[in-house]
């Protein structure tokens, strides 16, 4: 789903992916392919964003909208915004909480408090403060966008659609609101109405590649593969110099099991920003092409670029295991567990280690 932030969790013009994931986000990137030991799907993160702040792969950015909202109404809000810009989410949260305590009717303070709670994963608090911001300032587009995204993510499609329609009546030029309305209608199964809404969003912002990716994801989920590919090609052309959007396009191709196109688009993204995350994505798509040596090289390069990237180690371990190098694979999975003991692949890594050790006769 679309959140105005543009894919990363900062204030101002800079955006971060997350979302990685593109989020990916409510509309993840299609169905997952199942090569032998592919890394788990993840969204593009801040690292993959463009210099201008591109959104994350998948349908919609899925990142909270950081603004701009109305001019900061207090020194505490200004302090919180400065902390967000500096990457100090906890400091920002504390400042916004103080602002709300001092003036419970300060709409922008509630919006930003919702934003930081959204960023740290406390969706209940985020929803509460977005709602309060809209109660105090019904025209606040950013809070409507972010609340709509949360509602769609929680499967509350009817409420999200109703909220977006009301917000659009107040902000008819908002492409972000149109995108979230499209996601809500898509979630309800109203395919044609959703498509028309995405078309409206693109009319409002014809050069926004992530809107096209979001539209493509909707089409792909509804078995309109050819139309989805057309939109992906448009997005690729529109975002030729944006590594983040290109990564989103590539992951949609992966969802469509068009691994050749996935690799080709990621080649362009890597030429823009050679990041570990993009190498992992490209390695995954090479696995889809049955190119295990090529995938292994990608994962090794990802580890070399970012030694503390847990997913890179996990992915490399999978590829090494597929190549019969169990001792090396065990080492990579163990590194993953050291870096991310509570990570999403932790249990899988533990299981893989046990199986690999058993196959190796209990020896590394």
Asked if pLDDT for residue 115 goes beyond 70, the answer is yes
Asked if pLDDT for residue 47 goes beyond 80, the answer is no
pLDDT score of 275: 97
pLDDT score of 360: 80
Q: Which residues contact 149 (CB under 8 A, 6 or more apart)?
A: 1, 2, 3, 25, 26, 60, 62, 64, 180, 183
Asked if pLDDT for residue 11 goes beyond 70, the answer is no
CA distance 214 to 255: 13
Dihedral over alpha carbons 144, 31, 217, 139 (to 10 degrees): 0
Mean predicted confidence (pLDDT) in 114-135? 96
CA distance 69 to 116: 14
Asked if pLDDT for residue 220 goes beyond 90, the answer is yes
* Secondary structure of residue 58 in the 3-state scheme: coil
What are the φ/ψ torsions at residue 125 (nearest 5 degrees)?
Answer: -65, -40
CA distances (Å), 305 to each of 203, 268, 282, 287, 299, in order?
40, 18, 15, 20, 10
Mean predicted confidence (pLDDT) in 239-266? 96
Closest among 168, 140, 163 to 152, alpha carbons compared: 163
Mean predicted confidence (pLDDT) in 176-188? 97
What percent of the chain has a predicted confidence (pLDDT) above 90?
Answer: 77
The DSSP output letter for 71 is P
pLDDT score of 311: 98
CA distance 210 to 59: 8
Directed axis angle between helix 209-221 and helix 191-204, to 10°? 170
State whether the Cα torsion 271-277-283-285 is positive or negative: negative
Residue 337: count of CB within 10 angstroms of its CB: 19
pLDDT score of 347: 97
Q: Which domains, and CATH codes, for the chain?
A: 74-137 (1.25.40.10), 278-363 (1.25.40.10)
Q: For the segment 147-177, what is each residue's pLDDT rounded down to a tens digit?
A: 999 999 999 999 999 999 999 999 999 999 9
Asked if pLDDT for residue 305 goes beyond 90, the answer is yes
pLDDT score of 16: 24
| 3-state SS record for 244-268 | HHHHHHHHHHHHCCCHHHHHHHHHH
What are the φ/ψ torsions at residue 310 (nearest 5 degrees)?
Answer: -60, -45
Asked if pLDDT for residue 22 goes beyond 70, the answer is no
Element (H, E) at 353: helix 346-359
The DSSP output letter for 14 is -
pLDDT score of 66: 52
pLDDT score of 2: 52
Mean pLDDT check: name the lowest of 17-21, 58-62, 279-283.
17-21
Asked if pLDDT for residue 134 goes beyond 70, the answer is yes
pLDDT score of 363: 53
Asked if pLDDT for residue 48 goes beyond 50, the answer is no
| 312: confidence class by pLDDT, cuts 50, 70, 90 | very high
CA distance 150 to 124: 9
Mean predicted confidence (pLDDT) in 80-86? 94
Mean pLDDT check: name the lowest of 49-53, 136-140, 275-279, 283-287.
49-53
Asked if pLDDT for residue 195 goes beyond 90, the answer is yes
The length of the chain is 364
Mean predicted confidence (pLDDT) in 68-76? 65
Mean predicted confidence (pLDDT) in 206-226? 96
CA distance 258 to 256: 5
Closest among 67, 78, 71, 53 to 11, alpha carbons compared: 67
pLDDT averaged over every residue in the chain? 84
Which tokens belong to 8? Answer: 């990363």
Asked if pLDDT for residue 183 goes beyond 50, the answer is yes
**pTM: predicted TM-score of the whole model, two decimal places:** 0.77
């Amino acid at each position: 789903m679309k959140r105005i932030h543009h894919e990363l969790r900062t204030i101002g013009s800079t955006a971060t992916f997350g979302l990685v994931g593109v989020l990916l986000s409510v509309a993840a990137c299609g169905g997952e392919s199942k090569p032998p030991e592919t890394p788990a799907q993840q969204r593009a993160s801040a690292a993959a964003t463009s210099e201008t702040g591109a959104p994350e792969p998948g349908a919609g950015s899925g990142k909270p909208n950081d603004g701009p909202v109305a001019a900061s109404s207090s020194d505490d809000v200004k302090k919180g915004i400065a902390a967000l810009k500096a990457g100090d989410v906890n400091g920002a949260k504390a400042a916004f909480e103080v602002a709300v305590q001092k003036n419970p009717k300060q709409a922008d303070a509630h919006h930003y408090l919702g934003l930081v709670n959204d960023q740290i994963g406390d969706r209940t608090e985020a929803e509460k403060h977005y709602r309060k911001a809209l109660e105090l300032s019904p025209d606040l587009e950013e809070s409507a966008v972010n609340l709509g995204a949360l509602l769609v993510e929680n499967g509350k499609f009817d409420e999200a659609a109703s909220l977006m329609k009301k917000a659009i009546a107040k902000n008819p030029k908002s492409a972000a609101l149109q995108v979230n309305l499209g996601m809500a209608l898509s979630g309800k199964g109203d395919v044609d109405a959703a498509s028309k809404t995405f078309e409206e969003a693109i009319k409002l912002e014809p050069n926004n590649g992530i809107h096209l990716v979001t539209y493509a994801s909707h089409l792909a989920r509804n078995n309109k593969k050819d139309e989805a590919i057309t939109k992906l090609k448009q997005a690729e052309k529109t975002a030729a110099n944006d590594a983040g959007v290109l990564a989103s396009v590539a992951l949609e191709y992966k969802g469509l099991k068009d691994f050749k196109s996935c690799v080709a688009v990621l080649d362009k993204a890597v030429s823009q920003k050679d990041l570990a995350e993009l190498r992992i994505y490209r390695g995954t798509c090479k696995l889809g092409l049955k190119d295990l040596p090529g995938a292994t090289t990608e994962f090794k390069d990802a580890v070399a670029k970012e030694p503390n990237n847990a997913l890179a180690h996990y992915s490399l371990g999978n590829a090494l295991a597929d190549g019969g190098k169990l001792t090396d694979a065990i080492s990579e999975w163990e590194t993953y567990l050291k870096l991310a003991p509570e990570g999403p692949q932790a249990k899988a890594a533990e299981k893989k280690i046990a199986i690999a050790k058993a196959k190796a006769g209990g020896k590394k």
